[in-house]
Amino acid sequence: MMDLDSLDKLHEECGILGLWSKEPLAVGELLVLGLQALQHRGQEAAGVVVSNGRDLLLEKDLGLVAQVFAPGRMRRLELEGAHLGIAHTRYSTTGSNLRFNAQPLTARSSKGILAIAHNGNFINALPIRQRLLEGGAVFQTTGDTEVMINLIARYAHLELIDAVDQAMRELQGGFSVVLTNRETVLALRDGGGVRPLVIGTLPQGGFVFASEPVAFPLLGASFLRDVRPGELVWIEGDELRSRQVLSVKPTPCAFEWIYFARADAKINGLEAHQARVHLGEELAREGAIEADLVVPVPDSGIGAAIGYARASGIPFDYGLYKNPYAGRSFIQPTQAMRDLKVKLKLAPTSVVRGKRVVLVDDSIVRGTTSRHIVQLLQEAGATEVHMRISSPPIRFPCYYGIDTAARKELIAATHDNEAVRVYTRADTLVFLSEGGVRHATQQSVCLACFNGQYPAGVPQGELEKLSLERS
């Protein structure tokens, strides 16, 4: 199966959701609705846990939210008196027994059943896991999320909140987590706040935690605030409680604004669409060119293209049609058909004929899709194609929850800008600068995948590799 939506893009690894309501309600249905709004953060698996304080139901499987939670499956989430739950949508790399890697994860500990859903990565999971194994622990998965559950279980003598607090202090990296023990729901974020996590309130009393606030309207919830970097929040006696566990040094991921977050998602006070328009405006300044039309690569380049058109005065037009049904195709294309992938998804409209086109996209990963799109426009009669990218060249791996391709597959890691331009066959090519990103977002963003500077550290052994690569 060839997944056309993820054609040559970086992948967010997860979206998470937690809900605690004062009164019983259709928790399963609401969490599934909310997950659908977070579907862009992970399309390979989905899972939901609901509880009424006594029973806990878990349903998870590979597939899109709407596939996993088909009508028959929804019935399995019905639970008398349910008032809380957590949910997860996941992008994951392939492997065997993937179903068992889907989240939420659950475990029966001395503290009762714990269920956890996680977005991001613990960079020191491996040494902690090794220590636990030597103490006689067993693991079901190879993932880092299970390490957190085992860490918490080790603090058997502490209250749950204190055990989670301890675990937060031991773990490093970029992570947002929701957790439940059937009584309360906890939410927490690493000290840099690399991955987003926001809080909403329910009108009937209660709270929602979500990777992005775009899930709130579907739950009837109102945006309250972001979970702060390093903060642990939970529900106690109908109230939201908070503890600042880790010291704060904000380094939110720039890519959330550049590409991952939904256009209408406001994170750290800045809406993604607004940010993208600003990025496009910066790009118009840094990459000015004389041209007739600004054309976005739909849908990811739309915001920046609008910004570019606005700042440059060059007309915006819809020069590339995106087939909404081309998301997944079961055809196994033969080698000769390989470039059909792009043709199934994108088609030029006639407005580009005889025109000098500014083609705006958010990023370049492998460069193959860019190359195909430039060709589509040229075949459709564009006289010049000027590629403008609203982010810097991606050169380094992300250790905080983004699936950057293998480094050797990142075209910008191995080619300079002119070589990338030649490969894409564009007439000119300009990437936005790091300064441009900072200026457009007005945030102290993490730019590690662009510049290799990792604010939350790197896993043991990786540092040496990186320095070799950088030299």
Tokens 């909403």 label which residue?
200
Residue 109, sorted as left (phi over 0), alpha (psi -120 to 50) or beta, turns out to be beta
Q: Does 108 bind its own copies (CB under 8 A)?
A: yes
For helices 160-170 and 145-154, the axis angle rounded to 10 degrees is 130
State which residue, 310 or 425, has the beta carbon closest to its own copies. 310
Stretch that binds its own copies, among 34-42, 228-236, 364-372, 448-456 (CB under 8 A): 34-42
Q: Report the candidate in 187, 269, 254 with the shortest Cα–Cα distance to residue 435.
A: 254
Show contacts with its own copies in window 433-452 (CB under 8 A).
none
DSSP assignment letter at 398: -
Stretch that binds its own copies, among 102-110, 167-175, 401-409, 432-440 (CB under 8 A): 102-110
Name the token pair of 210.
């979500």
Q: Is the bond preceding residue 299 a cis peptide, omega within 30 degrees?
A: yes
Show contacts with its own copies in window 244-283 (CB under 8 A).
262-264, 266, 271, 273-274, 277
Q: Return all residues near 180 (Cβ < 8 A) that are at least 6 apart.
A: 18, 49, 51, 84, 85, 86, 114, 115, 186
State which residue, 109 or 184, has the beta carbon closest to its own copies. 109
Tokens 């039309």 label which residue?
293
Q: Report the candidate in 138, 150, 144, 68 with the shortest Cα–Cα distance to residue 101.
A: 144
Q: How far apart are CA 319 and CA 305, in angstroms?
A: 12
Point out which residues pair with 209 in neighbouring strands.
18, 199
Q: Does 240 bind its own copies (CB under 8 A)?
A: no
Query: Considering CB under 8 A, how many residues would be counted as binding its own copies?
Result: 87
Query: Which one of residues 149, 210, 365, 456 is an interface residue with its own copies (CB under 8 A)?
Result: 149
Name the token pair of 365.
């990963």
Show contacts with its own copies in window 206-235 (CB under 8 A).
214, 217-218
Stretch that binds its own copies, among 55-63, 247-255, 381-389, 444-452 (CB under 8 A): 55-63
Stretch that binds its own copies, among 120-128, 251-259, 336-344, 437-445 (CB under 8 A): 336-344
Which x/- pattern over 296-325 shows residues binding its own copies (rule: CB under 8 A)?
Answer: ---x--xx--x---x----xxxx--x-xxx
State which residue, 73 or 407, has the beta carbon closest to its own copies. 73
Integer angstrom CA distances of residue 99 from 29, 51, 68, 295? 22, 22, 11, 40
Name the token pair of 116.
């956890």
Query: Which one of residues 17, 32, 284, 357 is an interface residue with its own copies (CB under 8 A)?
Result: 32
- Closest separation between CB of residue 39 and its own copies, Å? 4
Helix/strand/coil for 65: helix
Show contacts with its own copies in window 340-359 (CB under 8 A).
340, 343-344, 347-351
Q: Does 330 bind its own copies (CB under 8 A)?
A: yes
Stretch that binds its own copies, among 12-20, 152-160, 169-177, 406-414 (CB under 8 A): 152-160
Upper half-sphere CA count for residue 222 (Cβ side, 13 Å): 6
Query: Which one of residues 80, 94, 138, 247 is an interface residue with its own copies (CB under 8 A)?
Result: 138
State which residue, 271 or 362, has the beta carbon closest to its own copies. 271
Name the token pair of 42.
């992970």
Question: Hey, which residues are catalytic here?
Answer: 14
State which residue, 76 or 407, has the beta carbon closest to its own copies. 76
Query: Which one of residues 80, 94, 97, 247 is an interface residue with its own copies (CB under 8 A)?
Result: 97
Q: How far apart are CA 64 and CA 32, in angstroms?
A: 11
Q: Does 65 bind its own copies (CB under 8 A)?
A: yes
